[in-house]
């Protein structure tokens, strides 16, 4: 039977911080994700929407959360799939209306069969509606009918909503700062992903298939009651230079590195780790040069994650280290300023073409505005924010648009950790995942 990952007071706190921002004469409707069809009557595994998980921890399909102010306080209701013996024989047990109303942090539970009537009636008494659209066609239709109604109630009595607002940005702003309970869960997610990467290093050997490393990592997730938070990227040799490589179908040869970007989900919360290691257990000299450069950049990026620093402080720090390094290694033949560029868009971007940090939480690329207006250094980091730091340097042998020294051709390296912002400085949640060259060389192949 499903259970709640957080305390009732944690959920109630989230609900009230959100609802405090909504006018009392408005109705709030938050549907969960739709089920997705893979083939005919076979569905993709269902995952509830992060907003639903955030507000009440409810993970069954089709549900809709509704909040309505009764003049004294907000009343939070949940429309759920009712118990249905035939459906439950085929698809699994349901918590049902009674289960939901007694065991979940909500005030009232109703059957989805009653949703149309109850929501339509509630809309008539509301002046506006806060709805996340395009998730539940029924709710979208009910709200649209209400907004466009030309009924007597609407025209003569002035009843019904006249505005539609998307509440996502209000929720995103809450979700960007993590509570202690959330941080504890994210630490578990980080620990499990760290363990999976370590096991994959131990079991690596010359000729191992990218898919085998994927199976080791995802097997570790699954055997610990977890699952991936995004499809694992396992790229050997040149495949490591493809940022979102997903084929994972090539063997990794002697002398090649493998780049593994894989994270899991615990109670809905993602971890996101990248490590790069030589499958034969020994870095070559050119690989070592680039690895040390990326590692130095990553450590500088983590150090830049301080309360009050702007969001792009980590990116600036990694760009500086990598720019200097590429010049010193003779890979870039330009000034430091040319490597950095006016807006961190200089020559270094030929080989480090992505950002350094993204927010992490219920979504692996978590919600929340980090660079208002798309310009400047971004908002300032606050306690409780969690972000990744993930610089990378890539020398794809197949690229014709750039010149790459033969010595480094085919090397792609990224190192990624998950970092919690605290007033005592950055805390690396993924610190149990080895990243020093000596640690990696000792570990790789030690578990064969």
Q: Which residues are catalytic?
A: 41, 244, 261, 272, 354, 358, 365, 390, 394, 414, 416
3-state secondary structure of 232: coil
Does residue 218 interact with Mn ion by CB under 5 A? no
Q: How many CA atoms lie within 13 A of 349 on its CB side?
A: 14
User: Which listed range, 115-123, 299-307, 327-335, 383-391, lies at the site for Mn ion (CB under 5 A)?
Assistant: 383-391
Handedness of CA 430, 244, 296, 216 (dihedral sign): positive
CA dist., res. 301 & res. 418, Å (int): 11
C-beta atoms surrounding 377 within 10 Å: 13
Considering the complex, state which of residue 100 and residue 186 has its C-beta at the smaller distance from Mn ion.
186
As measured in angstroms, the least distance from the Cβ of 433 to Mn ion is 13
Minimum CB separation of residue 213 from Mn ion in Å reads 18
Q: Pick the closer one to Mn ion by CB: 80 or 273.
A: 273
- Nearer Cβ to Mn ion (229/280): 229
How far is residue 289 from each of residues 47, 198, 283, 292, 437, measured CA to CA in Å?
A: 42, 22, 9, 5, 11
Of 265 and 272, CB closest to Mn ion: 272
Binders of Mn ion in range 316-375 (CB under 5 A): none
Does position 191 interact with Mn ion (CB under 5 A)? The reply is no
CA distance 423 to 292: 29
Please state, in angstroms and rounded to a whole number, the distance separating the CA atoms of residues 444 and 395: 23
Select 142 or 176, whichever has its Cβ closest to Mn ion: 176
Q: Which of 218, 238, 256, 272 binds Mn ion (CB under 5 A)?
A: 272
Residue 315 to residue 268: CA distance in whole angstroms? 27
- Give the nearer residue to Mn ion in terms of CB position, either 17 or 365: 365
Write down the least CB distance from residue 44 to Mn ion, Å: 22
CA distance 35 to 45: 8
Part of the chain binding Mn ion (CB under 5 A), chosen from 191-199, 269-277, 334-342, 394-402: 269-277
Closer to Mn ion by Cβ: residue 256 or 272: 272
Is residue 388 near Mn ion by the rule CB under 5 A? yes
> Whole-number minimum distance, CB 348 to Mn ion, in Å?
19
Residue 327's nearest CA partner among 348, 355, 300 is: 348
Query: Segment contacting Mn ion (CB under 5 A): 101-109, 157-165, 264-272, 313-321?
Result: 264-272
Residue 401 three-state SS? coil
414 has which bridge partners? 392
- Which range touches Mn ion (CB under 5 A), out of 8-16, 215-223, 271-279, 404-412? 271-279
Smallest separation, CB 272 to Mn ion (Å): 4
Which DSSP helix (H) or strand (E) runs through 317? helix 313-328
Size of residue set near Mn ion by CB under 5 A: 2
Tell me which residue has its CB nearest to Mn ion: 272
Smallest distance, Mn ion to C-beta of residue 273, A: 8
Taking the CB of residue 4, how many other CB atoms lie within 10 A of it? 15
Ordered strands of the 269-270 beta sheet: 227-228, 264-266, 269-270
Applying the rule CB under 5 A, the residues between 39 and 58 that interact with Mn ion are none
Pick the piece of the chain touching Mn ion (CB under 5 A) from 214-222, 268-276, 298-306, 324-332: 268-276
Give the Cα separation of 130 and 202 in Å (integer). Answer: 51
Judge whether 13 and 20 are in contact, CB under 8 Å. no
Q: Which of 168, 172, 82, 178 lies closest to 130 in space, CA to CA?
A: 168
Q: Which residues bind Mn ion (CB under 5 A)?
A: 272, 388
């Amino acid at each position: 039977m499903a259970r709640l990952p957080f305390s009732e007071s944690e959920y109630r706190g989230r609900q009230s911080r959100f609802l405090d921002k909504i006018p009392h004469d408005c109705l709030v409707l938050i549907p969960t994700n739709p089920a997705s069809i893979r083939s005919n009557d076979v569905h993709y595994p269902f995952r509830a929407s992060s907003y639903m998980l955030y507000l009440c921890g409810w993970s069954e399909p089709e549900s809709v959360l509704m909040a309505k102010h009764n003049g004294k306080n907000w009343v939070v209701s949940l429309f759920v799939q009712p118990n249905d013996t035939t459906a439950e024989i085929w698809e699994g047990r349901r918590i049902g209306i009674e289960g939901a109303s007694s065991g979940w942090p909500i005030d009232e539970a109703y059957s989805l069969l009653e949703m149309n009537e109850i929501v339509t009636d509630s809309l008539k008494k509301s002046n506006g509606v806060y709805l996340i659209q395009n998730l539940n066609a029924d709710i979208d239709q009910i709200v649209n009918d209400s907004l466009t109604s030309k009924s007597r109630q609407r025209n003569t009595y002035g009843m019904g909503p006249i505005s539609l607002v998307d509440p996502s940005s209000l929720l995103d702003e809450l979700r960007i700062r993590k509570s202690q309970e959330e941080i504890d869960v994210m630490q578990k997610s980080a620990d499990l992903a760290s363990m999976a990467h370590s096991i994959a290093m131990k079991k690596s050997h010359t000729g191992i298939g990218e898919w085998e490393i994927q199976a080791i990592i995802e097997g570790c997730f699954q055997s610990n009651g977890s699952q991936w938070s995004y499809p694992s990227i396992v790229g050997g040799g040149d495949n490591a230079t493809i940022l979102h490589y997903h084929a994972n179908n090539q063997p990794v040869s002697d002398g090649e590195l493998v780049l593994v970007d894989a994270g899991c989900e615990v109670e809905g919360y993602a971890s996101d780790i990248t490590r790069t290691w030589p499958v034969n257990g020994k870095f070559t000299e050119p690989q070592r040069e680039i690895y040390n450069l990326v590692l130095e950049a990553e450590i500088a990026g983590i150090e830049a994650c301080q309360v009050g620093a702007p969001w792009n402080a980590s990116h600036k720090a990694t760009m500086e280290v990598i720019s200097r390094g590429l010049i010193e290694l003779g890979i870039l033949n330009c000034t430091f300023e040319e490597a950095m560029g006016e807006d961190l868009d200089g020559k270094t971007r030929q080989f480090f073409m992505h950002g350094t940090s993204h927010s992490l939480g219920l979504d692996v690329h978590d919600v929340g505005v980090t660079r208002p207006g798309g310009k400047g250094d971004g908002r300032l980091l606050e306690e409780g924010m969690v972000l990744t730091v993930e610089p990378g340097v890539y020398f794809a042998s197949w690229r014709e648009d750039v010149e790459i020294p033969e010595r480094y051709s085919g090397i792609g390296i990224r190192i990624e950790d998950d970092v919690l912002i605290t007033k005592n400085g950055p805390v690396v949640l993924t610190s149990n995942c080895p990243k020093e060259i000596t640690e990696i060389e000792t570990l790789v192949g030690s578990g064969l």
